[in-house]
């Protein structure tokens, strides 16, 4: 409910009050405060006073205006001016205050619904086009029509979950010619807040039966239509509150949010969180919160924001979050001495040419001793050449065949040791003995060499 307290009325104006607004707050972030003086209300019209300081809360507002025969044309014009001035004091819009007008006499006419207009200019033009209906004063029927047709969701009223107050202002100068008490009670029970404005010959008892409690805050009376316009400023005070966010007294470091009733709270810009003092802000560690969306690595920035990076061997995609494998072998950044091999995982490894082995650093290569490995294929002796290659040699008295691996006995030696010439002469026998002795010594040396080679080969294999 909207609160009004007692105040001193100008001439011809009944009890009205100072602003003590209640109801649904209006969320309006104000990052900076204008240099504007607070609202005083002195000597200003309802449309001008407090602009930018006194902010109206969202309402579904329906005017129910009496245009019976007792209301003269000039007086009806004053009523329309009164309605337009109240519209001027409100924040009008589809998400702010919506306005409808119900015109009544002995019949009831909905001039326009809540969803019809969403700006002040169009609303005021629509109000100016309203014409009187004349004849009787069926106030109960008018309230019933407003409840059944004007305050429906189909007509533009917002549902109960929106917490938007439903307010009706009924203006009349006579006594209702129907049973208004029961209908008004039903309207109040449905959640409609009723204000009753009486003019001149209006029946005060009927006004009290219509209005919401407390009556001294919802019943207004003026002696003539000539001063009804003064009530527009009172309704402005009723529907608005001093906004600390606009006044610049909020002390919020980032954003000030108006909550209505002169209250507010502070919020922070994206990437920041509100400190315990409820005013200042600190940067949020989004990487720690794991809300960053980075595929590989999240890096915090000093500004409270972050950026994504990728593991080695990957590049950041255009979405600045996901990563794609990088071909380091093609880029030439692999560091392999001999061969770079790409792996499916987006990484790589190094390999060596034949005759070389990969060192412990997994990048450089060393010559491999094929003679020691025993894979050389030499029949007699394998000789390393120091360049990852080798060649074969033969024992004395043998010659290397064309395949460069196997050996054949030299023919001269074969003749010397032939059994046919064994007894030819003493010189031949002496030469035979010499050769045999030489071959025995050579075989002994070869046995030593083979034994050393086997030991070396075993050490290489099991190293």
* CATH superfamily of domain region 328-367: Laminin (2.10.25.10)
Q: Give the model's pLDDT for residue 297.
A: 93
Query: Regarding predicted confidence, which is higher, 48 or 142?
Result: 142
Going by C-beta distance under 8 Å and a sequence separation of 6 or more, which residues neighbour residue 200? Answer: 173, 222, 223, 224, 225
Q: Give the model's pLDDT for residue 449.
A: 77
Query: CB pairs under 8 A, 24+ apart, for 265-271?
Result: 267/29, 271/303, 271/304, 271/305
Question: Over 60: is that where the pLDDT of 139 sits?
Answer: yes
Q: Give the model's pLDDT for residue 21.
A: 35
Q: Give the model's pLDDT for residue 454.
A: 65
Averaged confidence pLDDT in the chain = 80
Question: Over 80: is that where the pLDDT of 197 sits?
Answer: yes
Question: Over 70: is that where the pLDDT of 422 sits?
Answer: no
Q: Where are the beta strands (DSSP E) in 304-415?
A: 306-309, 314-316, 323-325, 339-342, 348-351, 356-358, 365-367, 381-384, 390-393, 398-400, 407-409
Residue range 379-385: mean pLDDT, rounded: 88
Residue range 274-284: mean pLDDT, rounded: 90
Cis peptide before 457 (omega within 30 of 0): no
Q: Give the model's pLDDT for residue 434.
A: 75
The fold adopted by the segment(s) 370-461 is Laminin (2.10.25)
One of 2.40.110.10, 1.10.10.60, 3.40.50.300, 2.10.25.10 is the CATH number of 289-325, namely: 2.10.25.10
Closest CA to 373 of 450, 456, 301, 275: 456
Q: Which of 166-170, 257-261, 384-388 is predicted least confidently?
A: 384-388
Residue range 272-301: mean pLDDT, rounded: 88
Q: Give the model's pLDDT for residue 305.
A: 80
Same fold yes or no, 289-325 and 370-461: yes
Say how far apart CA 114 and CA 168 lie, in whole Å.
Answer: 12
Helix (H, G, I), strand (E, B) or coil at 241: strand
User: Looking at the domain that runs over 3-245, which CATH code has it been given?
Assistant: 3.40.50.410
Q: Locate the domains of the chain by residue range.
A: 3-245, 289-325, 328-367, 370-461
Strands 60-66 and 98-104: parallel
Question: Over 90: is that where the pLDDT of 196 sits?
Answer: yes
Say how far apart CA 195 and CA 63 lie, in whole Å.
Answer: 10
Question: Over 80: is that where the pLDDT of 223 sits?
Answer: yes
Say how far apart CA 233 and CA 17 lie, in whole Å.
Answer: 10
Q: Does the predicted TM-score (pTM) go above 0.75?
A: no
Going by C-beta distance under 8 Å and a sequence separation of 6 or more, which residues neighbour residue 417? Answer: 432, 435, 436
Residue range 111-137: mean pLDDT, rounded: 95
Name the band, by pLDDT with cuts 50, 70 and 90, for residue 13: very low
């Amino acid at each position: 409910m909207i609160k009004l307290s007692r105040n001193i009325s100008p001439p011809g104006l009944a009890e009205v009050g100072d602003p003590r607004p209640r109801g649904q707050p209006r969320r309006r972030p104000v990052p900076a405060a204008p240099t504007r003086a607070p609202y005083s209300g002195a000597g200003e019209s309802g449309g001008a006073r407090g602009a930018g300081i006194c902010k109206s809360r969202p309402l579904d507002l329906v005017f129910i205006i009496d245009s019976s025969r007792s209301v003269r044309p000039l007086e009806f014009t004053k009523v329309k001016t009164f309605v337009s001035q109240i519209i001027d004091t409100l924040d009008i819009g589809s998400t702010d205050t919506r306005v409808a007008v119900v015109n009544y006499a002995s019949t009831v006419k909905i001039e326009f619904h809540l969803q019809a207009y969403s700006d002040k200019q169009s609303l005021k033009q629509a109000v100016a086009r309203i014409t009187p209906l004349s004849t009787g004063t069926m106030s109960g029927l008018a309230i019933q029509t407003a409840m059944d047709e004007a305050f429906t969701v189909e007509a533009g009223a917002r549902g109960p979950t929106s917490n938007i107050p439903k307010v009706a202002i009924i203006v009349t100068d006579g006594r209702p010619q129907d049973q208004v008490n029961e209908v008004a009670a039903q309207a109040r029970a449905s959640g409609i807040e009723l204000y009753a404005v009486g003019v001149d010959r209006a029946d005060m008892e009927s006004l009290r039966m219509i209005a919401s409690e407390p009556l001294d805050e919802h019943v207004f009376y003026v002696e003539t239509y000539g001063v009804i316009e003064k009530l527009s400023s009172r309704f402005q005070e009723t529907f608005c509150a001093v906004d600390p966010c606009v006044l610049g007294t909020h002390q919020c470091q980032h954003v000030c949010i108006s909550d209505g009733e002169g209250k507010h709270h502070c919020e922070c810009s994206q990437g920041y969180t509100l400190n315990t003092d409820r005013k200042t802000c600190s940067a949020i560690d989004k990487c720690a919160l794991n809300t960053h969306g980075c595929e590989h690595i999240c890096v915090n920035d000093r500004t409270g924001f972050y950026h994504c990076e990728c593991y080695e061997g990957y590049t950041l995609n255009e979405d600045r979050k996901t990563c794609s494998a990088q071909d380091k072998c093609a880029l030439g950044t692999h560091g392999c001495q001999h061969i770079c091999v790409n792996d499916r995982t987006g990484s790589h490894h190094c390999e060596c040419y034949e005759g070389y082995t990969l060192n412990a650093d997994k990048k450089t290569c060393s010559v491999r001793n094929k003679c020691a490995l025993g894979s050389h294929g030499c029949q007699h002796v394998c000789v390393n050449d120091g360049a990852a290659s080798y060649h074969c040699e033969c024992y004395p008295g043998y010659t290397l065949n064309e395949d460069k691996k196997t050996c054949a006995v030299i023919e001269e030696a074969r003749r010397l040791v032939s059994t046919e010439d064994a007894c030819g002469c003493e010189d031949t026998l002496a030469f035979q003995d010499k050769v045999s002795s030489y071959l025995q010594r050579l075989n002994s040396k070869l046995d030593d060499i083979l034994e050393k080679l086997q030991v070396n080969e075993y050490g290489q294999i099991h190293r």
